[in-house]
Amino acid sequence: MSAMVLVVQKFGGTSLADAEKIHRAARRAIRAKLSGQQVVLVVSAMGRTTDDLVKLAQAVCCDPPKRELDMLLTTGEQVSIALMAMAIDAAGHEAISLTAGQLGLVTDSAHTRSRIQRISRDRIDAELAAGKIVIVAGFQGADQAGEITTLGRGASDTTATALAAVLGAKCCEIYTDVDGVYSADPRLVPGARKIDEINYDTMLEMAATGATVMHSRAIEFGKKFQVPIYVRSSMTDAEGTLITAATPGMEAIVVRGVTLREDLAVVAMNGVPNTPGAAARIFSEVAKSNILIDDIVQNLYDGGRVANIGFSTNSSESAEAMAICRRLGKQLGVDGVEIDEGVSKVSAVGLGMRTHSGIAATMFEALAKEKINIDNISTSEIVISCIVRREDGPRALRCLHSAFELDEPREDDIA
Amino acid sequence: MSAMVLVVQKFGGTSLADAEKIHRAARRAIRAKLSGQQVVLVVSAMGRTTDDLVKLAQAVCCDPPKRELDMLLTTGEQVSIALMAMAIDAAGHEAISLTAGQLGLVTDSAHTRSRIQRISRDRIDAELAAGKIVIVAGFQGADQAGEITTLGRGASDTTATALAAVLGAKCCEIYTDVDGVYSADPRLVPGARKIDEINYDTMLEMAATGATVMHSRAIEFGKKFQVPIYVRSSMTDAEGTLITAATPGMEAIVVRGVTLREDLAVVAMNGVPNTPGAAARIFSEVAKSNILIDDIVQNLYDGGRVANIGFSTNSSESAEAMAICRRLGKQLGVDGVEIDEGVSKVSAVGLGMRTHSGIAATMFEALAKEKINIDNISTSEIVISCIVRREDGPRALRCLHSAFELDEPREDDIA
């Protein structure tokens, strides 16, 4: 093992969309190398390559075997690692590209949604010791038998933070097309402010409730192995956002950001007899079909004998979810199954939601003042979410951003 | 080992250019499977994918490292195997795609021009025994250390015939965009006729002198392991051309085809002192720079004391070849170094050129009658080649095609 400081830099598809952008990313890696650090790059597929490959697969087969889908999609990252190595070579520095199989990033065999089992240091350490910049294909893995797997869409972030953890990197830098994490989506909220520092849990909830800047699993890896993560723009030298364990002045801050998740549908089963296992039966049936559930809300009524169970899911999966619930509804003898399509979820995220009283009230009042109807409500330790009509979503986001005074500069932002 | 009959089918890029063509190729493989044969498919990259990837590399780096070029280009075949497996799955049959690494096609480590060292049967045998159609990525290999290599441009044919040899296939079918091997390029010679059967050596020389329908190395494999090769159209059920060891009525046939190779340049070193090793020195220098030499012609004069040494090479490499020869020319004290660009080579190919007298005479007379000047001439056991002006090439080809009566139907064609 080397005593040198190591940094993992990850570049997403928009930061690699053409030759010029690849050179720009290469220069950033070289700069880190010249400053005396060892550098491991993780790259995604160029631009919209993965979407194009998915379209190609769909043109050939409406339901492609998952193994072959992985075989197909991993070519996108393989193209990127080769081109990145060429760009660094063209700039007169030594680099080597590695596929997941060559590197020894071993996953289970669940094609299209594999989990990392272990990452070997041997090859990377040898190449770093030889003075090379190591370029790793994100998103992909190889199972025990050498079959090619993938970690799920957007999982190059996961490759990067997992590598940073295994290699003991001083930090993991995520280069993207925005210059950090914002208090709300700047395209929807003009007064949105960049957050300088945020803790893992808050970032996790922001990602889960609609902030697309980073993949949740990657943040989980960062948290688990305490890897500081910087989210930065690939186009500027601005500082970006540091995702870490502790943030300064944490007690004073409650709501760090507001998020919007669109294109949801809420499926409601009303009058479910409150017998043990009813909810378990419903959600195990839904899970079997691989439908992703967002939030679940259950209320009891009629003296606790009957429940209304509702859950939100992506619009694209709502028809299938509805069909499953109708079938189960008959078996369980429920009053009715309803679907509410065209809804969005607006959330306020921050540590200490429950201990700071009045946060929920502020949220509901702000929405009421704007005459925005609230459908389901769900809360956790650090999130309050409200389902609203889709057309109200952006307006709801803006009013909450103001209500929580996220437009104002704050002490810790200046520090 | 199974006692079933096995066939290797290879589909080139033009036969896989879109989803419909991939389905067509898949149907052909399925038909062979349903007829009771085991089927191994070898596929190239779709359409012009490889050229597009080379352009992408050149946009990033003017002289890309060969290892990274292999990393990049092999993605083209990986896309094809995945899509082909999906197409067969969509048609309700079982298939599995394999990269060279997964299959165990081991090469040396000479990136961009590797040689096959061995091919493991284990994985293919297991998949065939499980009733699957096995789809193999052409062109690629993996060296002992797991590094990704390629066999050189157009080498998917080589993958196919090598696999057919190792697996003891009853034959190797090469599906392409023409319906067989012709007595001359039908685009240039309207009277060109499809050849029903041709022997390995004649086919080798035709490929080497300009027939682009099949890759020379693939024919060498076929010859070495006595694998019958069918060259057929992927768009029709026509019989195509069988390349094999023995052809009927062989004694009667001399010239089987005429070929044209364009875009050549001839470099001539005049007055080279005829000392031992002079030619060796010239061609080892040229070889070091990886310039591909076509034919070499040397004449002695001045009582054997001085030689003129000429060679033909691709136009694209002529400037570099010229520079090397100028430098060597000074060291060796030659009279002068000249280059003749914009030339083509027209060849007549067939067994027994030397034993059948008059072939060369017929050739030179036919060209003279058309007032076509001949520059260099070279001959071998089964080829006579003449360098002509580029603009005379197609006309030379047509007049030779007539002179050798290749327009006429022949006995063995009817058989």
Quote the mean pLDDT of chain B: 88
Mutate to test the interface with A, among B62, B69, B83, B135 (most CBs of A within 10 A): B83
Banded model confidence at residue B413, pLDDT cuts 50, 70, 90: very low
Q: What pLDDT does residue B352 have? A: 66
Q: How many CB pairs lie under 8 A apart between chains A and B?
A: 111
Residue in B278, B256, B215 with CA at minimum distance from that of residue B350: B256
Q: How far is B95 from chain A (nearest CA, A)?
A: 10
Give yes or no for a contact between A385 and A377, defined as CB atoms under 8 angstroms apart: yes
Comparing A409 with A264, which gets the higher pLDDT?
A264
Enumerate the H helices of A231-317 as residue ranges: 278-288
Supply the pLDDT for residue A273: 82
The total of other beta-carbon atoms located within 10 Å of residue A218's CB is 29
CA distance B95 to B105: 19
* B257-403 belongs to CATH 3.40.30.10: no
Q: What is the distance in angstroms between the Cα of A187 and the nearest Cα belonging to chain B?
A: 33
Top-tier CATH class for A6-177 = alpha beta
**Cβ within 8 Å, pair A89-B146:** no
Hey, of A49, A60, A63, which one would you mutate to test binding to chain B, going by the most B CBs within 10 A of its CB?
Answer: A60
A23 to B57: CB separation less than 8 angstroms, yes or no: no
Q: Which of A23, A68, A81 sits opposite B82 (nearest CB)?
A: A68
Q: What is the 3-state secondary structure (H, E, C) of A199-222?
A: EHHHHHHHHHCCCCCCCHHHHHHH
Q: What is the 3-state secondary structure of chain B?
A: CCCCCEEEEEECHHHHCCHHHHHHHHHHHHHHHHCCCEEEEEECCCCCHHHHHHHHHHHHCCCCCHHHHHHHHHHHHHHHHHHHHHHHHHCCCCEEEECHHHHCEEECCCCCCCCEEEECCHHHHHHHHCCCEEEEECCEEEECCCCEEECCCCCHHHHHHHHHHHHCCCEEEEEECCCCCECCCCCCCCCCCECCEEEHHHHHHHHHCCCCCCCHHHHHHHHHCCCCEEEEECCCCCCCEEEECCCCCHHHCCCCEEEEEEEEEEEEEEEEECCCCHHHHHHHHHHHCCCCEEEEEEEEECCCCEEEEEEEEEHHHHHHHHHHHHHHHHHHCCCEEEEEEEEEEEEEECCCCCCCCCHHHHHHHHHHHCCCCCCCEEECCCEEEEEEEHHHHHHHHHHHHHHCCCCCCCHHHHC
pLDDT at A357 over 90: no
* DSSP conformation class of A291: P
User: Does A410 have pLDDT greater than 60?
Assistant: no
Asked if the Cβ–Cβ distance from A82 to B71 is below 8 Å, we say yes
Average pLDDT of the segment spanning B340-350: 90
Q: What DSSP element (H or E) covers A346?
A: strand A336-349
Residue B105 has pLDDT above 90, yes or no: yes
- CA nearest to A54 within chain B: B83
C-alpha–C-alpha distance, residues A51 and A23, integer Å: 23
Residue in the structure block whose two tokens are 């089992």: A117
Q: Which two tokens stand for residue B368?
A: 């003279």
Confirm or reject contact between A23 and chain B (CB < 8 A).
yes
A130 vs A377 pLDDT, higher one: A130
Question: Which has more pLDDT, A287 or A67?
Answer: A67
* CB-closest option in A71, A87, A146 to B60: A87
CB contact under 8 A, B22 and A60: yes
Report the pLDDT value the prediction gives residue B2, as an integer from 0 to 100.
47
The residue with tokens 């459908």 is: A375
Q: What is the pLDDT of residues B272-308, one digit of tens each?
A: 887 777 777 788 787 777 777 778 877 777 777 788 8
Q: List, for residues B235-277, the tens digit of each pLDDT value.
A: 998 889 999 987 555 455 678 899 999 989 988 888 888 777 7
Give the phi and the psi of residue B301 in degrees, each rounded to 5: -150, -175
Mean pLDDT (whole number) for B156-173: 96
User: Is there a contact between A102 and B78 if contact means CB atoms under 8 Å apart?
Assistant: no
Longest dimension (CA), chain A: 75
Token duo for residue B5:
């009959």
> What is the per-residue pLDDT for A137?
98
Look at residue B27 in the predicted model and tell me its pLDDT.
97
Q: Using an 8 Å Cβ cutoff, are A412 and A247 in contact?
A: yes
Instruction: Copy the structure tokens of residue B408.
Output: 């006429």
pLDDT, position A415: 28
Residues of A in contact with B81 (CB under 8 A): 71
- The mean pLDDT value for B354-383 works out to 80
Handedness of CA B75, B81, B84, B89 (dihedral sign): negative
pLDDT at A147 over 80: yes
Mean pLDDT computed over A216-244: 92
User: With an 8 Å Cβ cutoff, is B250 touching chain A?
Assistant: no
| A210 pLDDT above the threshold of 50 | yes
Q: What would the pLDDT profile of B167-183 be if each residue is shown by its tens digit? A: 999 999 999 988 899 99
**Does residue B85 belong to the interface with chain A, where contact is any CB pair within 8 Å?**
yes
Residue-wise pLDDT tens digits, B120-147: 999 999 999 999 999 999 999 999 999 9
Q: pLDDT at position B399, please?
A: 93
Extents of the domains making up chain A: 6-177
How does the average pLDDT of chain A come out, rounded?
88
Residue A402 has pLDDT above 50, yes or no: yes
Q: What is the mean pLDDT of residues B332-337?
A: 86
pLDDT tens-digit readout, A179-198: 899 999 888 899 899 999 99
The model's pLDDT over B362-375, given as tens digits with 9 standing for 90+, comes to: 888 888 889 988 88
Separation of CA B119 from chain center:
21
Using a CB–CB cutoff of 8 Å, tell me whether B68 touches chain A: yes
Q: Is pLDDT at A259 greater than 70 in this prediction?
A: yes
In this prediction, residue B350 has a pLDDT band, given cuts at 50, 70 and 90, of confident
pLDDT above 50 (res B396): yes
